[in-house]
Structure 1
Amino acid sequence: MKTAREWFDSRGWKAFAFQREVWKSVAQGRSGLLHATTGAGKTYAVWLGMLQALVKRHPPGRTAEPLRVLWLTPMRALASDTTRALTLPLTALAPAWTIGQRTGDTGSAERARQDRRFPTVLVTTPESLSLMLTRENSREELAGIEYVVVDEWHELIGSKRGVQAQLALARLRRLNPGLVTWGLSATLGNLEEAMHVLCGEGLQPEPALVRGRIDKKLVIDTLIPKDPGRYSWAGHLGRQMQLPVVEEIDRSGTTLVFTNVRSQAEIWYQLLLEERPEWAGTIALHHGSLDRGTRDWVERGLKEGTLRAVVATSSLDLGVDFLPVERVLQIGSAKAVARMLQRAGRSGHAPGRDSRITLVPTNTMELIESAAARAAAKEGRVEKRDPPSKPLDVLVQHLVTVALGGGFFADSLFEEVRTAWSYRQLTRAEFDWCVAFCERGGESLSAYPDYHRIKQDEDGAWRVPDRGIARRHRMSVGTIVSDAAMQVKWMSGGTLGTIEEGFIARLRKGDCFYFAGRLLEFVRVQEMAAYVRKAAKSKGIVTTWGGSKMALSTEMGDAVLEMMQAAAAGRYTQPELKAARPMLETQARLSRIPTPDTVLVETFRSREGFHLYVHPFAGRHVHLGLASLLAWRLAREKPNTFSLSVNDYGFELVSADEFDLASVLDLGVFTTGNLLHDVLESLNSSELAQRRFREIARVAGLVFTGYPGQPKSLRQLQASSGLFFEVFRKYDRGNLLLSQAEQEVLNQELELSRLRATLERINSRELVHVPLRHPSPMSLPLMVERFREKLSTEQLSQRLDRILRDMEKDEQRAAR
């Protein structure tokens, strides 16, 4: 019988050194992390090593082996692709062994077959694995698992889904101490830590970190606009890039056009069709809100090469294998080196093929970001992903899961949970609080039986005593929390996808909107579904979704400042810097160009009042916290009211009354002293914590989203979580989920650690203050961000035209 290596060689493939290294490590029984370029052959590096070891340990016969391998994927769309790749060598080496998928898309008949007997190899998701742990006989079914592979580990590690996977792996290791775990990743900066988060600490033998280095050419270039101009703001160049993008697609093979948000994907799909109506049917749209059938059709078209282009969001970021894709276009900045590299890898997705990504700036600063991203990628400055620290909502959910799956003893489970990286510092008091919370809902919910989810038997084991509670828990397993969504359905029948309830609530009968690449007319809402028909009008609004915009990463912010420093020194060597030169020279003439050694502070007087601009280049999330902090500290010195505006490069404070700049210029308001207290005081921290608590309440099982066909509305979910929040605040101040909500606001929304680091950097740099006669190219975009909140598009355009005309006239007078 063939060995796995012989099967590999028989296909005319030559193994890379990193693949041979993984095969050797797996044969030695080592866990590990494989970090290699997208499309380099990571799947077979791990799979063939495991398959070879399994065949040797369990010589194939005429019957299938029980469940031996779990392959975890972060996206359902990857499951089918992965299954096909794993099946080829499995069929050749162990034809009687079986392989299957278990995700949210798996049909009831297939689930029933698996319930009777799991396949030898199962491709699944973290959520489906947790559901498997709720089965009463889960210990017997899962104890035979010898290998677990976590694909796209970089996508999971920094989220609660990654924590969910950590807890599941801790359980599997308890069932089989010899479990071998491997992670696959293409874009991670903190590899050693990422490996230990996945594999655990103190393993024997030591886990292996394998870096896959192959000669794969990566081309990162930029579509340069003809006239970037001296001033620019978010979206300023968007329409100007329409024809260049169309021309790039026209002269390329199959192309992926990535945007950062779904509304932008809808807009660009319409822009392509507007310029090339004849492309209808050969270009497509793909994002997470579209109907599953539509997304499957698009993915098949990409695989078969029948589509000219697909406009997509992060829904196509990950490792689905689309060999026909030759080009990737990124509309706007990817905001992070890792995200850009991940998307670049969608082209040339095979060993020996070049990958190419072309960046399409939508404003002049994104030209500079493009050059910075290329330089950072060349130097390997990839962002690290930090795992969350002991999220108790995930632990509460896991406790009920394990209680359903045969029950648990507290002492034993505490030690098990602490082997998961995110809970390595969990105290016994915190664990006991979580158990008590599952038992009776904390101090304030003890009178309500629905929150008595676990009960201790006479033998000391904790189990779920109620079938209704068990059913609701199984339906709520998971950590993906989004706003309530409504299905969008044709009046004539059929589903287009889902849209957030908040957007639908703003529509009136007859309103038209773009969704799923179509112009639709809203008819009515019935039973949590929005019914539509094809619009007779020619225009409509673009569907919008909640959620914050992607923020500039620290690595990208530093790289952009380095490009600005080159421009300040007169070195316009990059094509992007040459194109941005008019803007940068205008900035230098009216103000100063920011550099890594300086912090630029600009002030300006207008009819609105007194403007303060600060440009730390730390990303919009940090700038929001920083702007709120400075406004609060300045108002504490002298009562005042401020309007705020932020973008990725800086922030603006505006007040009707002029304020004393002394504490700004002497860095007094930038101190890190009493930072936590001042940040909480400067924001409506209670409102932010309550919003965050909505997610925590749903993950922890306090709020049930409804049975199939009977979903609860967003208003109902918000009301339920808001009620719990208020009850806990008044009657259960020691509730640890409240503390978690506050910590998540600080660490995730405001990025407190980055905010502190930004303040420290400001204090270590030279502060450069420039009083402005006119808004500079760096300050005008912040004005535009603020105007957008209160002006229509037409009013905004008129306001900007007047500002720019006044500046031109003044500069002409000065020149005379």
Structure 2
Amino acid sequence: MPDLANAWFATRGWKPFAFQRQVWAAVGRGESGLLHASTGTGKTYAVWLAALRAFAQNSAGRQPAALQVLWITPMRALAADTARALQAPLDELQLNWSVGVRSGDTGSAERARQARRLPSALITTPESLTLLLTRAQAENDFASLRLVVVDEWHELLGNKRGVQLQLALARLRRWQPGLLVWGLSATLGNLDHAMQVLVPEHGLLVRGRQDKRLEVDTLIPAQLERFPWAGHMGLKMLAQVADELEHSASTLVFTNTRAQAELWYQALLDARPDWAGLIALHHASLARETRNWVEGALKKGELKAVVCTSSLDLGVDFLPVERVLQIGSAKGIARLTQRAGRSGHAPGRTSRITLVPTHSLELVEAAAAREALAAGRIEARRSPRLCMDVLVQHMVSMALGSGMRPDELLAEVRSTWAYRDLRDSHWQWALAFVRNGGSSLGAYPDYQRVEAHPDGIWRVASERLARRHRMGIGTIVSEASVQLKFWSKGGGGRTLGSVEEAFIARLRPGDTLMFGGRVLELVRVENMTAYVRRSTSRKAAVARWNGGRMPLSSELADALVEQLDAAAHGRFNNPELRAVRPLLALQAQWSAVPTTTTLLAETLNTRQGSHLFLYPFAGRMANLGLASLIAWRVSREQPLSVSIAVSDYGFELLTPSRIDWAAWLPRVLSAEHLLDDVLASLNAGEMALRRFREIAQISGLVFGGYPAAQKSMRQIQASSGLFFEVFRKHDPDNLLLGQARDEVLAEELEIERLRWQLEKMAARRLDLHVLKRPSPLAFTLLVEGLRETMSTEKLADRIARMVEELEQAAGNAHG
């Protein structure tokens, strides 16, 4: 029989790339591995045709094969697109394999069919895979499984969903010792670690085509601000963006936040009413039906542009898309690469992304991003370790169905990278926790979830607890949100999507908001649903969601400082630096331009008090940690109140009295006693309480409610807060309590990045300048400080006056 892979490529007039042949051969030899290749070069068909070639050579004309391939996708939105891609070779080669999808969107009829017999290839998510593993017949369901493919592995590797997947794969490997596992990715900076986590035994790393052309350019503003400030969403670039869209057949316009996407979509429609119906909006809070329509219209080439967020970052193929615009900084090289790959998504086609700065300094970021991308400086992602909340959830999940034997499960768990260092004492704690809630919850029946039977098998104690647990499986903890629906007298109208509960809580009936490109009036709120109707008002609050302030990655921050260093030494070798030269010239005239060997510090005295501006270029979260640490270390010896403002570039400390920073900085920039000082300098207890809410939900301590009676986030926070206090007072060694503290240090305070930054800062020469007036860099931090205390309208007026005064001081000549 002819080689299926080559046969299908021949029907398309394609020739396989060397990396595709390499994967085909590896799967044929029974090897697992990781395929790393540029977006749009054929990774999907490398592994899918390898599977058909190895397992489906003789499947034509017979009953569809039992489950052979499990395809894990990080987003259920990708499942339908992946299914279409996998089905095409089956149809054309007339193979009697079936392809199915199992996710939260799968209907009850399809679930019933799958309960009787799983398809030959099943596309699913980590959460749905775990649910399948809880069935009594699960081992039999997966008896024929040969290959697991983990798509977009970089999206799972660095978070708890990836840990959940590691545990699920460990169970599948125990059932099928010869199981092959392949990961796919285009944006991984630490391939060895990514391979080790996915394939704990030896695996093959295949590097695919990296010569795909990727064009990165910048939309230079027509007029440059010498005193930039973030926060105006980049709408000053509206006319130039509209002109770029005019000259492209199909474009994705990426923004970093859903609020920014809403504003840009509405602004484009206002600027070009004739584009109504030709441009669309896409973000994760819009209703699934709306997103499906947008994705379908994009595929058919019916839309000129789509304003979107990370909801379109991943693998969906939109062949008509010619180019991508990125509004504002992408904040990281991997994200930039991922978004660029949404255009020219086919072998041989060029991907093009145009960066649209929202303020002048983002021009330097744009140049830095292009240089870092060319050098292949992609951010590393590391798997979390010893997540006890995920472990106890998994233990209860495995006790469903046919039950679990503790010793066998422990061996499985320790076979994963995330739990390879799990101590016996931690395992015993986890067993006690799922059996009776541990040392402090034994009196409560709801926490006696698993019971040991005489045959040595542990099973979930009751059907009620089993049903409740199944509803909570997963590690994606939803934000506090309410459904948004059109109001109708006969009852609830069409669902529009969801918004944050905290945002709606600030509005009264009659207030207006912008959502889905519409201005809406709030009618009433009840049962976690906000009812709205259309409004003719032109002024509306923009719906806001958490997660809007992504920190600058270390790789992009380092590249940014290298660009500034080049400018400081008179090298303006790209269009972006040449455009921003007037700003940097003024920065050098009034202060200095940061370099790779100096740590720039500026002091300024105003009516507000004494300002210190320091520029570590560490990213927003690390800069907040550094600022809090320095302020605490100074105030410990010299009592004073300190106000803090931060950006990705640096931070401001404002004190009512003057501080001799030249003497203080060398003393406070030390990594000694870092952990103790960080915990003392920030409200780490409150941060740990917020983090514990997520841990409590994942571990099953707090139940989010049934579909018809969902608990509010306020109720969940209150419940998790009670557990937090009980453990803190009566069970201080509770591992979930310790996990909350560790996660705050690692993820919110970025303690290791703090340590590294302090060591790097100490190694640089302190370049301290006393300012007569704010420098361009200091101005951005002054605005950040004012933003916390002023309304948007008052802030805009204040900034306008400040800019006018500074421009007069600088003179009107831009040079």
What TM bracket, shorter-length normalisation?
over 0.9
Q: Please say if 1:771 is aligned against 2:767.
A: no
Amino acid at match of 1:244: Q
Q: Which letter maps to 2:18?
A: A
Spell out the pairing of 1:326-405 with structure 2 (5 A cutoff): 326-405=322-401
Partner residue in 2 for 1:225: 221
- Residue 437 of structure 1 is matched in structure 2 by 433
Amino acid at match of 1:419: S
2:596 matched to which residue of 1? 596
- Quote how far apart the aligned CAs of 1:214 are: 5.0
2:35 aligned partner: 34
Distance in 2, Cα, partners of 1:89 & 1:711: 43
Q: Which runs of 5+ in 1 are unaligned?
A: none
Aligned residues: 809
- 2:177 maps to amino acid: P
| 1:399-426 residue CA offsets vs partner (Å, 9 max, x unmatched) | 0011114222212211110111111111
2:256–2:548 Cα contact (<8 Å) kept: no
Q: Do 1:102 and 1:125's aligned partners in 2 also have CA atoms closer than 8 Å?
A: yes
- The answer for the alignment partner of 2:515 in structure 1 is 515
- For the residues of structure 2 that align with 1:152 and 1:712, how far apart are their CA atoms? 33
Equivalent residues in 2 for 1:442-457 (5 A)?
442-457=438-453
Checking the alignment, whether the CA contact within 8 Å between 2:286 and 2:516 is kept in structure 1 is yes
Q: 1:614 is matched by which residue type in structure 2?
A: L
Code of the aligned partner of 2:687: L
- Secondary structure at 2:485's aligned position in 1? strand
Query: 2: CA distance between counterparts of 1:591 and 1:45?
Result: 55
| Contact 2:662–2:768 (Cα < 8 Å) also in 1 | no
- Contact kept, 8 Å, 2:59 with 2:97, in 1: the verdict is no
Mapped partners of 1:227, 1:536: distance in 2: 34
Aligned-residue Cα RMSD (Å) equals: 1.5
Give 1:756 shift: 0.5
- Equivalence map 1:18-417=2 (5 Å): 18-56=19-57, 59-60=59-60, 62-93=62-93, 95-200=95-200, 203=201, 206-236=202-232, 238-417=234-413
What amino acid does structure 1 have at the position aligned with 2:365? E
1:636 corresponds to which residue? 636
* Matched position secondary structure for 1:740: helix
CA distance in 1, matches of 2:255, 2:587: 29
| 8 A contact 2:59–2:95 mirrored in 1 | no
1:519-571 alpha-carbon deviations (Å, 9 max, x no partner): 00000012221000001312111111123511111110110001001111111
Instruction: Work out whether residues 153 and 184 of structure 1, in 8 Å CA contact, stay in contact via their aligned partners in 2.
Output: yes
| Partner residue, 2:578 | 578
Q: Which amino acid in structure 2 is aligned with residue 382 of structure 1? A: I
What is the identity percentage for the equivalent residue pairs of Structure 1 and Structure 2? 58
Cα deviations by residue, 1:152-173 (Å, 9 ceiling, x for unpaired): 0011100111111111001100
Is residue 486–residue 501 contact of structure 1 (8 Å, CA) maintained in 2?
Answer: yes
Distance across 2 between alignment mates of 1:251 and 1:806: 39
2:626 corresponds to which residue? 626
Instruction: Tell me, yes or no, if the aligned pair for 1:2 and 1:93 is still in contact at 8 Å.
Output: no
Letter in 1 for 2:359: N
Per-residue deviation, residues 26-76 of structure 1 (Å, max 9, x unmatched): 1110000000000000000011111111124x6555212221110000011
| In 1, Cα distance between equivalents of 2:389 and 2:144 | 29
Check 1:663–1:94 CA distance in 2 against 1; reply closer, same or farther (3 A cut).
farther
**What is the CA–CA distance in structure 2 between the aligned matches of 1:21 and 1:434, rounded to whole Å?**
43
Q: Verify: 1:699 aligned to 2:698, yes or no.
A: yes
Aligned equivalents of 2:528 and 2:454: distance in 1? 45
The one-letter code of the counterpart of 1:553 is: S
Q: Answer yes or no: is the 8 Å Cα contact 1:35–1:212 preserved in 2.
A: yes
Match of 1:796 in 2: 795
The equivalent residue for 2:650 is 650
Contact persistence 2:509–2:523 (CA under 8 A): yes
Sort the Cα spacing of 1:768 and 1:97 in 2 relative to 1 into closer, same or farther, 3 A: same
Q: C-alpha separation between the residues in 1 aligned to 2:246 and 2:808?
A: 42
The C-alpha deviation readout for 1:468-495, integer Å capped at 9, x for no partner, is: 1100111111101122221100013111
Q: Kindly indicate whether the alpha-carbon contact (under 8 Å) linking 1:256 and 1:312 is maintained by their aligned counterparts in 2.
A: yes
Equivalent residue letter for 2:499: I
Shift of the alpha carbon at 1:806? 3.2
Residue 813 of structure 1, CA deviation: 13
Q: Deviations over 1:729-754 (max 9, x none)?
A: 11111100010000000100111111
SS of the residue aligned with 1:181? strand
Following TM superposition, by how much is the alpha carbon of 1:211 offset from its aligned partner in structure 2, in angstroms? 0.5
After TM superposition, give the deviation of residue 694 of structure 1 in Å: 0.5
Paired letter, 2:586: T
Kept in 1, the 8 Å contact 2:262–2:516? The answer is: yes
Q: Distance in 2 between matches of 1:368 and 1:417?
A: 46
What's the offset of the Cα at 1:705?
A: 1.0
Shift of 1:798: 2.5
Contact 1:269 1:517 in 2 (8 A): yes
String of CA shifts for 1:700-732, please: whole Å, max 9, x gaps.
111111111211111111111111111111111
Q: Secondary structure of the equivalent of 2:776?
A: coil
**Are positions 1:475 and 2:471 aligned together?**
yes
CA distance in 2, matches of 1:660, 1:303: 61
Deviation at 1:117, TM superposition (A): 1.1
Q: Tell me the distance in 2 between the aligned counterparts of 1:294 and 1:523.
A: 22
1:675 is matched with: 674
Offset at residue 776 of structure 1 (A) = 0.8
Cα shift at 1:133: 1.0
* Aligned equivalents of 1:102, 1:530: Cα separation in 2: 30
**Match for residue 562 of structure 2?**
562
Do the aligned residues in 1 keep the contact of 2:610 with 2:655 (CA within 8 Å)?
yes
Q: Residue 16 of structure 2: SS of its match in structure 1? A: coil
CA contact (8 A) 2:79 2:123 kept: yes
Q: Give the AA of the match of 2:216.
A: I
CA pair 473-326 structure 1, distance change in 2 beyond 3 A = same
Q: Report the more deviating stretch, 183-192 or 408-417.
A: 408-417
> Normalising by the residue count of structure 1, what TM-score does the alignment of the two structures yield?
0.97
State whether residues 671 and 759 of structure 1, in contact with CA within 8 Å, keep that contact through their aligned partners in structure 2: yes
Secondary structure, aligned partner of 2:580 = helix
Aligned to 1:529: 529
* Separation in 2, partners of 1:763, 1:332: 31
Deviation at 1:302, TM superposition (A): 0.4
Displacement of 1:804: 2.8
CA positional deviation for 1:809: 4.4
Code of the residue aligned with 1:287 in structure 2: it is H
Please give the alpha-carbon distance, in whole angstroms, between the structure 2 residues aligned to 1:130 and 1:237.
Answer: 41
Q: Is the 8 A contact 2:257 2:548 kept in 1?
A: no
One-letter identity of the residue aligned with 1:55: A
Aligned partners of 1:488 and 1:624: how far apart in 2? 34
TM-fit CA distance, 1:802: 2.9
CA distance in 2, matches of 1:107, 1:663: 67
Cα distance in 2 for residues equivalent to 1:94 and 1:686: 61
State the match for 1:664 in structure 2.
Answer: 664
State the shift of 1:370 in Å. Answer: 0.3
Go from structure 1 to structure 2 and tell me whether the alpha carbon gap of 1:810 and 1:391 turns closer, same or farther (over 3 Å shift).
same
Q: Does structure 2 retain, via aligned residues, the 8 Å contact 1:237–1:361? A: no
- CA–CA separation in structure 1 for the residues paired with 2:552 and 2:224: 21
1:812: how far off? 5.8
Distance of 1:470 and 1:289 partners within structure 2: 30
In the alignment, structure 2 segments of 5+ residues that lack a partner are none
Query: Given the superposition, is the C-alpha separation of residues 65 and 808 from structure 1 closer, same or farther in structure 2, using an over 3 Å criterion?
Result: closer
Could you tell me how far apart the structure 2 residues matched to 1:728 and 1:212 are? 50
CA contact under 8 A between 1:553 and 1:619: conserved in structure 2?
yes
